[in-house]
Amino acid sequence: MRKSVYANYAAFIRTSKEISALEGQLLSMRNLLSAQAALVHGLADGVHISSLCADDADDLRDEDLYDMDNKQLSKIENWVVEFFDRLEVLLAEKRVEESMAALEEGRRVAIEAHEKRTLSPSTLLSLNNAIKEKRQELADQLAEAISQPSTRAGELRAAVLALKKLGDGSRAHTLLLRSYERRLQANIQSLRASNTSYGVAFAAALSQLVFSTIAQAASDSQAVVGEDPAYTSELVTWAVKQAESFALLLKRHTLASSAAAGSLRVTAECIQLCASHCSSLESRGLALSPVLLKHFRPGVEQALTGNLKRIEQSSAALAASDDWSLSYTPTGSRASSTTPIAPHLKLSISAQRFNSMVQEFLEDAGPLDEALQLDGIALDGVLQVFNSYVDLLINALPGSAENEENPVHRIVKVAETESQQTALLVNALLLADELIPRSASRILPQGASQSTPRRGSSDRQNRPEHREWKKKLQRSVDRLRDSFCRQHALELIFTEEGEVRLSSEIYILMDETTEEPEWFPSPIFQELFAKLTRIAMIVSDMFVGRERFATILLMRLTETVILWISDDQSFWEEMETGDKPLGPLGLQQFYLDMEFVMIFASQGRYLSRNLHQVIKNIIARAVEAVSATGLDPYRTLPEEEWFAEVAQIAIKMLMGKGNFGGNGERDVTSPSVSSAKSYTSN
């Protein structure tokens, strides 16, 4: 509703001023008509008396009509003469109250004389004209006094009130506001001359001067003219004009320079001062905040952009030298002193500094949010710089797709070891999951009531807009996680020369050998198990309290490798329709490899339903490929228990807990023995 009012406020004020001017003209016309009516009545009385004299046989004179009370007539006429002289003296000496009292007395006498016919028409006309003339003269004296800069506040209010009593309230109110405007401009010039810098101190002094003047003008306006809508609209128009002039002055001398330098703190302090002064005027019906915000908002957005750019540049510079080792955040900075990182959280150097800069940014943006409702812009900006920082982390992965596509995008120190690469994930996860949302909660709208301050932060974090914003942060973390998984999967699937290690040949060629195979998971899946085991140990130390993310990381990494097999068309074309299709031994090895993945993923508790289903699907596809050659794959495949036993033994051996060379285990895991058991049972 307020937006609608202010959108049409100019037209409303213009109409109100026209109505006020029209009211003044009507008042002048009424005074003129009253004077004309008095003149007409006087002339009519004179004509009536003359006609009586013409018809009277005694030929009486006009003056004889007043002989009945000659003494009283002489007394009133003498009073009129004395009244003229006394009024001249009072006006000359500028004795306003006495002059007004005399004019009021003269008006009463004129009315009484007209009703009782105690004055001759000519004398009554002279009295009325004199009262009108002297009233105008007194009004001009008061207007001149109001316009004088030397007139004190008390004298100013008295003069304005006197002018209103004389029937010229519109003029009185306009002169009152003009007087305050002249004084305000003079004080601003003095303030600017006495200030060598235009920082926060200047903004505070200027804000105090402007809004205190507006408040005093509003107080005097109400005291003089009351709640008259015409005068109130004029006051609002005047106050809006002063607020706009103030906003342009402050923007030109303070906010523009601070915004250009990205000094968000100075901008925030200045706007917070203005907002506090504006709020004090709302009780008087003057809501000037929208006027200021219209002028301040572009500069504030520029300052926000400058700060966000600085955060992005600083993060890139730090990432170029970060060794990606995690440590506790040192205390002492402004951000860490207000929002310390929990003792169990560790970040690398660039992430620590990034978190500190974001906290400082949101801390400075808090006052701006209260005044300008900038929480959406500030949070979107934080999301933008976080995405930029995640891009740096992705570029720190060896052989990342971003680096290959745009090698000069960022100069970032590469995370060589698996511990360093996992530290990249720790940085992103802790920032997105805890540190940044905790800092952002202070500028979010408070949906909870103020009666529960202890739960206010939690309530704000649970608001729908905050939840959606946190999801966007988490999607950036997922982007880094997917890049991490893709990079490690590619290390397994391809050699450094770019050749494919996980190809269909390792299974197809098994049926061409005459020797009995050594049934054990393929080397690439042994490496996958070893890599997942190492990463599981690393994440268990780094992701304390966030085991779910660690589990999802291992799950996604395993899925990435298996999905590559499932989606690789060349792999399946050679298996299904190649010159040498998949045979029974190759199928058995492929089955063992997939069973091996399912078992160690299940034991590590990162076997997802999706991964389980994909493995089942690709095993079924491999079985169909063998069936298409005319062989019955189920007559050559051992029982499922055999695959599970071999996979378990392989896990123990790879972990250093078993020995595959023993005769007992060798006999148990022999496919021929297991097959014989299967056939006998069947």
Average pLDDT, integer, range 548-573:
93
Confidence of residue 324 (pLDDT cuts 50, 70, 90): very high
- Identify the pLDDT of residue 369: 59
Q: Could you tell me if 316 and 293 are in contact, meaning their C-beta atoms sit under 8 angstroms apart?
A: no
- Is residue 521's pLDDT more than 90? yes
DSSP 357-377: HHHHHHHHHHHHHHHH--HHH
Structure tokens at 165: 């009593």
pLDDT digits (tens, 9 = 90+) for 566-576: 999 999 998 88
Compute the distance between CA of residue 132 and CA of residue 103 in angstroms, rounded to an integer: 9
Higher pLDDT residue, 383 or 94? 383
Average pLDDT, integer, range 105-121:
72
Q: Residue 169 contacts by C-beta under 8 Å, 6 or more apart in sequence?
A: 163, 225, 228, 231
- Identify the pLDDT of residue 451: 36
Compute the distance between CA of residue 311 and CA of residue 356 in angstroms, rounded to an integer: 10
- Is residue 673's pLDDT more than 50? no
- Is residue 591's pLDDT more than 50? yes
- Is residue 360's pLDDT more than 50? yes
- Identify the pLDDT of residue 485: 94
> How remote is the C-alpha of 582 from its chain's centroid?
62
- Identify the pLDDT of residue 263: 65
- Identify the pLDDT of residue 607: 93
Q: Could you tell me if 426 and 396 are in contact, meaning their C-beta atoms sit under 8 angstroms apart?
A: no
Distances (CA, A) of 218 to 236, 243, 281: 9, 13, 9
- Closest listed residue to residue 551, CA positions, set 540, 567, 566: 540
- Is residue 147's pLDDT more than 80? no
Tell me how many helices (H) and strands (E) the chain has: 30, 0
Residue 648 phi, psi dihedral angles, 5° rounding? -65, -45
- Is residue 473's pLDDT more than 90? yes
- Is residue 182's pLDDT more than 60? yes
pLDDT digits (tens, 9 = 90+) for 619-641: 999 999 999 888 888 888 999 89
Q: Could you tell me if 502 and 523 are in contact, meaning their C-beta atoms sit under 8 angstroms apart?
A: no
Compute the distance between CA of residue 354 and CA of residue 344 in angstroms, rounded to an integer: 18
Compute the distance between CA of residue 674 and CA of residue 144 in angstroms, rounded to an integer: 118
Higher pLDDT residue, 93 or 205? 205
* DSSP 3-state of 228: coil
Compute the distance between CA of residue 621 and CA of residue 40 in angstroms, rounded to an integer: 118
Compute the distance between CA of residue 7 and CA of residue 32 in angstroms, rounded to an integer: 40
> How remote is the C-alpha of 77 from its chain's centroid?
78
Compute the distance between CA of residue 536 and CA of residue 201 in angstroms, rounded to an integer: 57
Q: How many CA atoms lie within 13 A of 113 on its CB side?
A: 28
10 Å Cβ neighbour count for 474? 16
Compute the distance between CA of residue 651 and CA of residue 529 in angstroms, rounded to an integer: 8
Q: How many CA atoms lie within 13 A of 152 on its CB side?
A: 2
Among 74-88, 355-369, 445-459, the least confident range: 445-459
Average pLDDT, integer, range 94-121:
72
- Identify the pLDDT of residue 642: 94
Distances (CA, A) of 384 to 369, 380, 433, 445, 655: 18, 6, 16, 20, 44
pLDDT digits (tens, 9 = 90+) for 258-306: 666 656 777 777 877 887 788 888 877 788 888 888 888 887 788 888 8
User: Which pTM was predicted?
Assistant: 0.69
Q: What is the mean pLDDT of the chain?
A: 78
Structure tokens at 190: 């003095």
Compute the distance between CA of residue 418 and CA of residue 660 in angstroms, rounded to an integer: 29
- Identify the pLDDT of residue 647: 95
Higher pLDDT residue, 383 or 78? 383
- Closest listed residue to residue 489, CA positions, set 501, 476, 506: 501
Higher pLDDT residue, 222 or 316? 316
- Closest listed residue to residue 539, CA positions, set 529, 528, 553: 553
10 Å Cβ neighbour count for 662? 11
Higher pLDDT residue, 601 or 370? 601
Compute the distance between CA of residue 446 and CA of residue 460 in angstroms, rounded to an integer: 6
Distances (CA, A) of 74 to 66, 68, 79, 119, 592: 10, 12, 9, 9, 138
Compute the distance between CA of residue 292 and CA of residue 246 in angstroms, rounded to an integer: 8
> How remote is the C-alpha of 425 from its chain's centroid?
29
Compute the distance between CA of residue 292 and CA of residue 245 in angstroms, rounded to an integer: 10
Compute the distance between CA of residue 382 and CA of residue 366 in angstroms, rounded to an integer: 13
Q: How many CA atoms lie within 13 A of 227 on its CB side?
A: 2
Structure tokens at 198: 């235009």
- Is residue 679's pLDDT more than 50? no
Compute the distance between CA of residue 438 and CA of residue 457 in angstroms, rounded to an integer: 8
Average pLDDT, integer, range 193-214:
82
Residue 543 phi, psi dihedral angles, 5° rounding? -105, 55
Average pLDDT, integer, range 506-512:
87
